[in-house]
Structure 1
Amino acid sequence: MTETAKGTHFSEVGRIAVTVADQDRALEFYVGTLGFEKRADIPFGDGHRWIEVAPAGGHAGIALVLPQEGGQAPGYATGIILTSEDIDADHAALRSRGVDTDPEVQRWGAPVPPMFSFRDGDGNVLMVVGNE
């Protein structure tokens, strides 16, 4: 790993935490409905679990975490943007599985890629952007 100009050794965004109310339900949604792979489901501490999922072959993961006291509650705009190789097919597939998606793919014209948002079972918002 090389040192950055500012003296840190950061190399990538490795994972993003998404707050969920029920880790088992969230795991089923991200793996069963979205088709992500489960990378970790490890107990730690006093009854806690570290659960991490990601698109197959993707680099960054999503950690499905329970809210900490006074912390972020579920149901927020995560800022996560997923890339799709076929945005229309993915939009249709998610809608057919009952996922709460935007009614249609938004197309603003170049240079803005096509996009839509969806919500997980806790109301957390994720965006999908076409790689077109």
Structure 2
Amino acid sequence: MTISKIAVAMFSVADQDAAVAYYTGTLGWEVRSDVSFGEGDQAGRWVEVAPPGSDARLALNPPMNGEPGGGAIGVETPDVDATRAVLEAAGATLGEPMGGDGTVPRMFSVTDPDGNWIWVVQER
């Protein structure tokens, strides 16, 4: 089997509407998909968000078994410090910058309201 790229990462969230509001309002991402599927007890909603201009997509799904949160993804940026400043001004919950010592790229984390982590990593 050959896999050419990751199609979409998935986070479990307690409330899809609240998660969409956070990712679009606080982080400045855009909605790429928001569709209903299935019927009756099996009805669901598929929601994807993404950083503008990115091929990466993040599906925001209700928890399947248990509590939301606990997921992690990484996204790259050409300027970690500028991105951090924008997210800090928007009120995002940020971890301290780390790395950048030549062995590990400079990065920091963003924690969403459901406890999922986005690692913002300096492009190499």
Residue 14 of structure 1 corresponds to 7
Structure 1 residue 48, shift from structure 2 partner: 1.6
Match of 1:67 in 2: 63
Instruction: Spell out the pairing of 1:23-62 with structure 2 (5 A cutoff).
Output: 23-46=16-39, 47-62=43-58
Q: 1:108 to 1:58 in 2, by over 3 A?
A: closer
Name the residue aligned to 1:122. Answer: 114
**Counterpart of 2:99?**
107
Inter-partner Cα distance in structure 1 for 2:8 and 2:69 = 19
Q: Secondary structure at the match of 1:31?
A: helix
1:50-96 Cα deviation digits (max 9, x unpaired): 0011112212210000011x25x2231x2300111111111122112
The alignment of Structure 1 onto Structure 2 pairs a total of residues equal to: 121
Distance 2:114 2:72 in 1: 15
Greater Rg over alpha carbons, structure: 1
Q: Which residue of structure 2 aligns with residue 5 of structure 1? A: none
Measured in 1, the distance between the counterparts of 2:33 and 2:75 equals 20
Query: Structure 2 stretches of 5 or more lacking a match?
Result: none
Q: Give me the identity figure in percent.
A: 41
Where does the alignment leave 5 or more consecutive residues of structure 1 unmatched? 1-7
